[in-house]
Amino acid sequence: MVKTMILEQIVIQDKEILGGVPVFKGTRVTVTSLLDYLEEGMTVEEYLAHFPTVKKEQVIHFLEITTREYLTKHYEIAA
């Protein structure tokens, strides 16, 4: 059975943490840092090595959820 997560279980936005920039829950690591690393051609494993407080499950679910939301919003794809 696959555990379905929602974005709010993975990412939080709190004015007390980095001024409200979205971060992975339980960390002070911004989600944009993941996108920056991937854009530069780095792997998820390399990213996790640099940010050990972020869990691989968080990254995978974040990418799955945001991809699904993007495709659902911009294309005729069932969620």
* DSSP one-letter code for 14: -
pTM of the model: 0.82
What's the rounded Cα separation, in Å, for the pair 73 and 58? Answer: 22
What's the rounded Cα separation, in Å, for the pair 55 and 25? Answer: 10
Q: How many CA atoms lie within 13 A of 48 on its CB side?
A: 10
Q: pLDDT (tens digit, 9 = 90+) per residue, 30-75?
A: 999 999 999 999 999 999 999 999 999 999 999 999 988 888 888 8
For the chain, which domains are there? 7-74 (1.10.10.10)
